[in-house]
Every structure is written in structure tokens, then in C-alpha cells.
Structure 1
Amino acid sequence: MLISNLYIVAVGLSAYGIFLNLRYDKKRFNRRALIVLFCGLLHILMGYIILIRYPQFLYQSIFFPISALYGVSFLFVFNGSLGLRMTRKGLHILPFFMALAGYFIMMLYAPWRYHIYHEYYIGVHILSSILFITYALAVGLRFHSGPNYDLKGFIKAEKKGLIPLSFLVLVVGILVIIRTRSGDMETYLMFHLILYIVILLPIIKLSLLKIKSGIKGDTSSVIKIPVIIPKNIELSYKIEIEKFIASKAYLDIDLNKNGFYESVNIPKGHISPFLKQVYGKNFNSFINELRLIYAAKELRREELIYTIDDLSFICGFRSRASFYRNFIVVFGCSPHQYRANQLKITP
């Protein structure tokens, strides 16, 4: 009964994933996910037919090392979400071909088939579990850290997701080794189905993401890969920003992103994530805030060196209207009102 229920769950999840990825109207079509899901569904259905109609050949279906492809399938779908091609394909599928060679040898050579099938099955699935954990970590690092790979940042961001799921697979594998009796086909099959279901869940979730990676086209369902700045690097970046502020380079009316990149010793790909992570602002908001703080400081002077209208250009704004609009948003009043209020409360 449990085996039948697991088959139903596996088939249902595969069909659900295929349905979601065929929703053209939602722009969720993911060809690589469909390949993985169709292959997985076909394998599960064939296994169920063998279980019902040809149980004497069940061991041949169970021992086929399809699980050695689960980890690389995860990476395959993830790269598809980024629009990237798979590199070093031969290296990625080498464990599968090695396990496949062992499978054919075992099927053709009767002494091995009767004496080491238990060790072969358990070994292949533990290897598959380790491979999946490795690929899950690699995908998680890429997804959460972008070009800045940081294991601590990944663990912090995904502690409720992929890592517990991956280690669950390994724990189940260890329990199978401890508790499974040699020749217990039901336990073999149950473990394989649980492994397939556990890996199928993140693949379906991942297949529905359209991750921005310099790809042209529709961006309505696109998300960006966030970059997590480690604490030690964050401190050095703060020092660079403080130098920039001290130099008052933000008052340059012609300052743009490229000029800002040249002023601070921070990699281009880290500028926006750093400003968002530390200051909670994008580039324009950050620079405007610095300019407004400077303007407010000048307005608090008893003797104003510049007229208020001139101050807008001194602070780096290209128009009086832009200066007034941004000033009102931050301080809740116009520059004239701000100065008048400050002079009133000054003893």
C-alpha cells in the first residue's frame, strides 16, 4: 500500500510539474525541466508496470542507476533557467555511465548478480545522494551569491531550504544501509521513490524561476540573482565609501555610475548589492541623500554663502525643481521653510 501511494505521489508531482511548465500563457515554459520531468515520469510509470505485471523482473528496474542523474538534472534545469549551456557534459554524466557499466556487468554475470546486488544498489544510491547534495550546494551558491561565492552567506539564506532537504536524503540513505535486509525489494523500491520525490520538489520549484543573467526578452517573470557581500569584504567597502564621502565627490553635477565606480575601489558587480545591503538604497537614492544632507548643513549656517536656488546646483542637482522635490521628500518641507525653522530654534 505504501509503495502504491509513493508511486501516486511521484507520478502526480511529475505530471504537475509538466503542467506548470507547459503554461505558455504564464510564460513559464522551461524545455529542460520538461525533459527531466518527462524522463522521470516515464521511468516511474515503467517501474510501476513492471511491479504489477512482471514482478520477477522488478530487480532489473530497481537497480538501473537512474538516480545517478538526479544531481546533474538539478543543475541542468538551473542552467536552463539562466539560459546557459551545460559545459563539461561528459564529466557530469560520468558517474552515471560508471554505474551503468556496473549494472550491465551485474546483469550479465550471474555470480555478481546474486552476491553483490545489495552492495551495488546501496552504493549507487548513496553516491547519488552525495552527488545531489554537491549539486544543490553549487546551485544554491550560484543562486544566492551570484559571482561572489560565499558558503556562509548561502547557508544563512537557504538554511530552511535546500541544505536540510539534501541532508535528509543522506540520512535516509544511511538508515537504509543500517536497516535494509539483503534482497528486500520493497525497501529498495521505497527508498528509490522517496529519493525521487525529494529531488523532484526543488526541480519543479527551480524550473518556474526565470533568472536574469543578461538575457534579452521578456522580463515579466524574471528575478535577479542576489549577491551577498561577506562581512569582512563589507567592512573594506565601507571604508572606500567613507573616503568618497569625505572627498565630497558626490557634489559633482556630472557624477554618474561610471564615475562613481572609478571613485571607489569596489568591483562593479558589487556596488548595487552593497548599497542595497548596507544602506538600503540604490545608487541614485544614495547619492541624492548625500547631496541633501550637505544642502541641509549649508542651510543651517547663520550666514548662507549661496542663494538657495544656487545651492541646488552646488549640491549636484541639475535643476531647482529636482532639488526642491527631493528635499521635500526627505525633510518634509521646502529648503526655505527648513532654513527658517532652523534659525528659529537656534539660540
Structure 2
Amino acid sequence: VINYIAPVITEPPKHTTASLYSSASLTCRATGSPTPTIHWYKDNRIIANKNSDPSVLVFPELDLSDRGFYHCVASNIINGKKEAIRSPVILLNITNVVQYEAEMDLPPDFYNSTESTEDLILKLIQSSNNYLSGSNISNTSFFYIEILNAETILQNTSHMPDKLPIVVTLVTERGQGDNTLLTGVKNQLDSLNQQLSVKISIIQLNRFDGCPSNSTIIPSQSGDTSLDISVHWPETNIGVEAIVDCPCGDNDTSSSGSELKAFRYCGGDFTNGALWTTIDVSQCNFSDLARKICNLRNLPVDEKVQQLEELTSNTQELKSTEVTASVSILVTATEDVSGNIT
């Protein structure tokens, strides 16, 4: 008697990070009868697995094209019907690479030459890289640029673009973009205008494999703009959820002991670039009373305590957030007094 059992994934692939040119592997093991077949997908497209063990996807030497979102599918045939199960999607990323995107604005006379459009563009990129290769921005070990979607642009021989979309790649142990890297990249790209025979300019520099830092405004419930809350998001890598404290002075803890946080996911992909997607700031949408209490933080101690007493005089209006905000303000008042004594 043959027992037919639909596939079950017993060891799904996990989020994996490794350095550029190092080795890595993803594992997907499954049970079932007949023994399930394992197929791998990258960015929702099936890919070939040359490993002798189909349960393990091996990357002998990671390069930028290996980054992406992977999942596996285990399947078998039972009574002529295909049974399949899909694993969760995981991210394979490279830890020591940061990329930015920009546009290279070309001068009006750029194409005034007997050379082909493709040759002129490739020569410009090569000359740029010859200069940039020696750049050192915040201990980066490598710095180069390439054309974004180069194949599409270069194959269209009848089109002479006045702007070239480029991607800047930094190999750096920082593994995360920040204002220091962004400023350094901008300065180096701007210097190309003095170093090259072609007078180009760089515009619209932004993070490519991560979401840029920005803010979300949470309006007050009464419409009083002085009580608006601004949640600041740090620059965040693709596939990572940014988690920040709700900005209400030191009010990062609720009365029940759980932290008050805001969440935002950096989605997108490594082909078209990163994109901020889902956002949840519900825990930070404080009442106007809680916001008023939090705004006392920077007042002098005497004024802080006096206004806190006035705002909290009606205890029926005080809920957990207002109580937590009040405790936070009292803590800052105590710290201010202690600081004055010392």
C-alpha cells in the first residue's frame, strides 16, 4: 500500500546576508510521498539550481545580481493531481554595498561628433569611472557608476537622451546609507564637471537600494498645527522595516510597559530601486491633551510643573497615554532639578 502525503516544508529558507564576493546558500527542505520536487524562485521568477541537492541553492561568489527576494516551492503528484506548497519570501542581501541613483545631465553639444551615441555614452561612463575609482568616501573600498537600464538605453540608437540615469555603487563596511555617504557621493559626482572634458551636471541624487530618510506628519485631532507630530524615518535598506519611537519627548513607553512605536517598510527591488510602502503610525496618534503634555518638555521646571498641573486637573480626561506623558514630563523635571544641583 502506497501512502500518498502532500508536501510539507520542514526547513524553509531564511533571510540571509553576506559580503560581496563571499559564498552563501539558501535551504528549503520538504517531506512528502512521493518525495517532493523543489523549485526556486527569485523575484517571483523560476530560476535554475545547478546544485546536486535541489534543496540547497548555492552562491559560490555573491555578486550584485544575486540580491533579491527568494522563495521555494515543494511539489509532488498524488492521484494525477499536483500538490504544492510555497515557502515564505525571504531576502538575500549583500551587507557591504550601498547604492545611489542619479541623473547625469548632458550638455547640448554632447552628440556633436562622428561617434555613435552608444560609443559617446560608454566613453563618458568609462572616463567618469577612471576618475572616481580612486575616491574614498568614509572608508569605502570601491566606487563606480553604471547606467541604469543600460541595455534599453544603448540599444535605442535613434534616441539621444539629454539625461542619463545612473547608479552609483559603493563597497563599504558601513552597510547602511546615511547623510555622510550621501554628501560624499554628491561632492564626488559634482567634481566630475571639473575633471572631464564633457561638462556634465548631476541631479536628483537619491538612495537606490534603500529608502531615503524623510518624515510623516500626524495632524492633531483638532487641526491645531502646533500640536502636529512629526515621525522621522531613517534611511533604511530594501526589505527592512524601520521602527522608531513615537516622538513625544521621552514618551516611548506606554502605561502597560510596551513601547510606543511607528513602523514603515522599505520595499521595492534591486532592479528598479527602493520604495517606502506600508506605514503604521497609529500608536503615535496621541490625543491633543497628550501632545500638549509632551510639549512641556523644554519649558523651565517651575513652568513645566505648573502647566502640567493645569493640564491634568481633570482626571477623567486622563487615559494611559496622557498618564505616561505626564510621568515622562515629571522625569524630565526631576532630571533638570538634579542637573541644577550638581
TM-score range (shorter-chain normalised) is under 0.3
* Greater gyration radius: 1
Q: Give the structure with the larger helix fraction.
A: 1
- Using CA pairs below 8 Å that are at least 6 residues apart, which structure has the higher relative contact order? 1
TM-score, length of structure 2 as denominator length: 0.24
Q: Give TM-score, length-normalised by structure 1.
A: 0.24
